[in-house]
Structure 1
Amino acid sequence: MEPIKWNDEKIEQHLKHLPPIRDRQSKQELFLKVQANINYKDNKGKRLPSWSLPALATACALIIFGVFAPDLIKNGVQMQNSKVAEKSDKMEEKSLDDSADKNQNSVGIMKAGPSVAYHAPYLDKDLKAMKKDWVTVGYLDDQAQLVIPVSFLTDQDYYVNKVNKELKAFNSSDVGLMNSPLEKAKITEEEETVIVDLPAGAIKEAEEPLLQALITMTFANEGQKAKVELRMDGEKGYEFPRFGTVSEWDLKVPGAPHFRYDAPSTDAFIVSLYATGVDTKSMPKEFEDALEMMDDEQERGLKPLLPKNTVLGVKVLNKDDVEITFPDSIKLSAEDTEDLMMIDAILLTAESYGFESVKFNNTKLDSIGPYKLNEEIEGVTGTNFYQ
């Protein structure tokens, strides 16, 4: 190995790469030691004049300080920066750990947070026991993509009077919905025809495809009204931006599968697929076909209430009665709101296809909500009752 040839540049570079030196002695102590060492060497050899010693010692100290000071300062800064970085890393690590803990807590909070405000239907026998009547009014979701039917408990009165009363009294924003277009109308009736008189330009283009479904779901429940006559400023026929002039619609709620809709508030509703404003001809013709759709997510925020790939056993006893058998894979809980909503969605779907009673089998429960599951369930009335 060749010997290293030293020069000033290599010595300086070598000194810069020496490990950090941290001397706890003060500059004064270092100076005194250097001075003492010089005096010791002077005693062994040629003695220098006394007046030159302090100057020489000072010069040596300055030389040493000049050589080592930059690296000492640099290394000191690096050590300090290293400590700061280490501390920062530890703080960041702790912050990430805390963040992870908070995220885990957030999941728990979400699960155990504010409960969903679900507005279930009533049984007819319970309404009679309370000596109450009811009415349903159609509202729009906050994007004007769905009709959300909301039912109310009322006193006995003409149906149109009950609709007009609730249109004035109910604040739809309380449950995350938009106002009903019917709030702009003058609503009267003539026998089985309801008359909806709207000011010109009252119906927005986005509301137009949903208006027929909204009026139908408001006035055709339990067959209250068979037809709607549309007027504009007192004259027969309303001029729509897209449909043109329309004078009347027949009112009939078609059979359709039901799904869950979650409003921007904590309110959850059960909504018919018909509420999307689609043509009634596209609805499933049979109850069994509707049930098969109810485990699939739909457009416009409609969510399934049946678990994916659920196959329900369906036995139609006659035109009024049907039996539903749950597969063994479904485990219902009497305390689970979603399970109650699933039962309600099936009942409302069955009711929309004309069945008056439903018997559930293999539920492994005696009851859920107001329903005794070992008995036939009949008389489901209204939907999304708000109190």
Structure 2
Amino acid sequence: MGKRPEHDEESIEKLLSNMPKIKDKRTKEELYTKIQARLQTGEPKKRSGKKWLMPSFATAAVVIIVSILVFPQLLAEDNMLEMSQESGDQVTSETENSIFEDEHAEIEEKADTNMMVTEESDPVEVREEGYLGALNQKPEGTDWVTISVPNDDAQFVVPLTILIPEDERSKLDHLQTLLNTMSYEKWGLDSPPLSEFTFQEADYHEDGKKVIIHAPSDNFTITSSTESLMFIQSVQETFAALGYKYVEFMTDGKPGMNLGPYGEREGFSLEENNKAYYLYTSETDHQLLIRGSTLESQLENTAEDQLTFQETIEQMKLGNNVIGYEASIPLELSITKIESENDLVKITFESGTSFENNDKTIAMIEAILFTAKEFGFTKVRFVGVEGIVGSYNLNTVIDVPEAVNLAGVQK
């Protein structure tokens, strides 16, 4: 791995802290009143367009700094279905299927209390505010897609997983539908940069697939730094989550696409370094996990090697109030040992450690599970702590989840 460009972290942090943070100044009470009014009247909120299309100087500066830290390697290349624990093990597929069906029935009968059902044009039924949680195992007859869209300040992208029916349509077809018809502001997020594009799957080398992204018009171009960064992050996170290895751009049937400050690009690899997971609270009070690949979080240690799993876990104890994300692991939580064998990693906590059964702890556990998955582990064993948190039995080996931030179900 090549060396990263040298940067003075203190100077960068000072620069970031002096920049104005773009934030909706409405109180939670005002936002809640507006949401309630739209639900009662059925009148969708009208947006004036993507806020990040014309960034301020400060936002553009932040984007440049973040892109230097996040994308040097890229540019070098051409649930929350809650359920009870049974028999001291994780929830079985049959139990999850049953609860999934029960939730569908409640959606029709108790939309005002259990779920927020959007306008007729919106194809997704959405959870109310709170931590969204992971998809541990897809219910029978369903599949899922994960869509990454900018947060409201266009500082990074946030992944949303939507359950889709398992039918003759491909995941790309479902993705296209959701990008063009789903409203994202109910999660406190901005519109997706990929909504106007079309996608095509193709073979890539012997054992992989690539996605070909077609520009929406012959004269398509990206003009601003923020727009370019949000587009690249959305592409990277959305299609990597779907298992693609490479993305290829086409404009007017010819290879290449103008990505503004990043220039003309024909494509790039979707393979990347292992990443940490952090916690983000949106303006609608949804708590979601976000990946370190969309942030300026540290990717290498002092020896300029990729962070180990243990180093990455320690990194997850650090948030960033300027960028707008929180640590997913409490700073005071002491992890005394991490050891691995094949696809299992054991994480030992200091003697006497106990966890509360709440959303914050569930988010921490799932952040650790997803980070373990990034490093190729499929099972995690927590040592030195006991009990049940959410659907997780800490006394047993836990399988890593399928997908992050289960946000809704396609109708």
TM-score, normalised to structure 2, is 0.61
CA distance in 2, matches of 1:380, 1:180: 25
CA distance in 1, matches of 2:223, 2:402: 30
Post-superposition shift, 1:381?
A: 1.0
Matching of residue 218 in structure 1 with residue 238 in structure 2:
yes
Paired residues of 2:132 and 2:288 also in contact (CA < 8 A): yes
Post-superposition shift, 1:289?
A: 0.6
Matching of residue 187 in structure 1 with residue 204 in structure 2:
no
- Structure 1 residue aligned with 2:163: 153
Paired residues of 1:212 and 1:249 also in contact (CA < 8 A): no
CA distance in 1, matches of 2:187, 2:163: 17
Paired residues of 2:352 and 2:385 also in contact (CA < 8 A): no
CA distance in 2, matches of 1:195, 1:277: 28
- Structure 1 residue aligned with 2:177: 165
SS at match of 2:274: coil
Paired residues of 2:289 and 2:404 also in contact (CA < 8 A): yes
Paired residue type of 1:321: L
- Structure 1 residue aligned with 2:213: 196
Post-superposition shift, 1:378?
A: 1.0
Paired residues of 2:277 and 2:316 also in contact (CA < 8 A): yes
Post-superposition shift, 1:263?
A: 0.7
SS at match of 1:188: strand
- Structure 2 residue aligned with 1:85: none
1:174 to 178, 186, 196: 186
For residues 150-207 of structure 1, the C-alpha deviation after alignment (integer angstroms, 9 at most, x for no partner) is: 1111122422122112212321111000011110212222231211122412564203
CA distance in 1, matches of 2:385, 2:404: 23
Structural mapping, 1:95-174, within 5 Å: 116-124=129-137, 127=138, 129-156=139-166, 157-174=169-186
- Structure 2 residue aligned with 1:209: 229
CA distance in 2, matches of 1:342, 1:236: 42
Bigger share in helix: 1
Paired residue type of 1:318: E
For residues 246-291 of structure 1, the C-alpha deviation after alignment (integer angstroms, 9 at most, x for no partner) is: 1011112531111111111111110111122779668953110101
Paired residue type of 2:336: G
- Structure 2 residue aligned with 1:333: 356
1:234 to 246, 250, 253: 253
- Greater RCO structure (CA 8 Å; 6+ sep): 2
Matching of residue 357 in structure 1 with residue 379 in structure 2:
yes
SS at match of 1:206: helix
CA distance in 1, matches of 2:250, 2:326: 36
CA distance in 2, matches of 1:139, 1:241: 19
CA distance in 2, matches of 1:262, 1:352: 23
CA distance in 2, matches of 1:259, 1:340: 13
Structural mapping, 1:60-71, within 5 Å: none
1:248 to 242, 267, 270: 267
CA distance in 1, matches of 2:401, 2:392: 10
Moved more, 254-263 or 163-172: 163-172
- Structure 2 residue aligned with 1:310: 333
For residues 48-99 of structure 1, the C-alpha deviation after alignment (integer angstroms, 9 at most, x for no partner) is: xxxxxxxxxxxxxxxxxxxxxxxxxxxxxxxxxxxxxxxxxxxxxxxxxxxx
Post-superposition shift, 1:116?
A: 4.6
Moved more, 210-219 or 260-269: 210-219
TM-score, normalised to structure 1, is 0.64
Paired residues of 1:210 and 1:275 also in contact (CA < 8 A): no
- Structure 2 residue aligned with 1:380: 401
When residues 203 and 386 of structure 1 are mapped into structure 2, their CA distance, relative to the original with a 3 A threshold, is farther
CA distance in 2, matches of 1:203, 1:175: 27
Post-superposition shift, 1:327?
A: 2.4
When residues 293 and 278 of structure 1 are mapped into structure 2, their CA distance, relative to the original with a 3 A threshold, is closer
CA distance in 1, matches of 2:175, 2:337: 36
When residues 166 and 135 of structure 1 are mapped into structure 2, their CA distance, relative to the original with a 3 A threshold, is same
Matching of residue 288 in structure 1 with residue 307 in structure 2:
no
Paired residue type of 1:292: E
Moved more, 132-141 or 368-377: 368-377
When residues 278 and 249 of structure 1 are mapped into structure 2, their CA distance, relative to the original with a 3 A threshold, is farther
The structure having more radius of gyration, on CA atoms, is: 1
| Percent identity of paired positions between Structure 1 and Structure 2 | 22
Q: Work out the number of aligned pairs and report it.
A: 268
- Structure 2 residue aligned with 1:94: none
Paired residue type of 1:208: S
Which segments of 5 or more consecutive residues in structure 2 lack a partner in the other structure? 1-28, 30-127, 204-208
Moved more, 229-238 or 281-290: 281-290
CA distance in 2, matches of 1:267, 1:320: 32
CA distance in 2, matches of 1:279, 1:186: 34
Paired residues of 2:380 and 2:400 also in contact (CA < 8 A): no
- Structure 1 residue aligned with 2:365: 343
CA distance in 2, matches of 1:225, 1:307: 34
Paired residue type of 2:150: L
When residues 142 and 283 of structure 1 are mapped into structure 2, their CA distance, relative to the original with a 3 A threshold, is farther
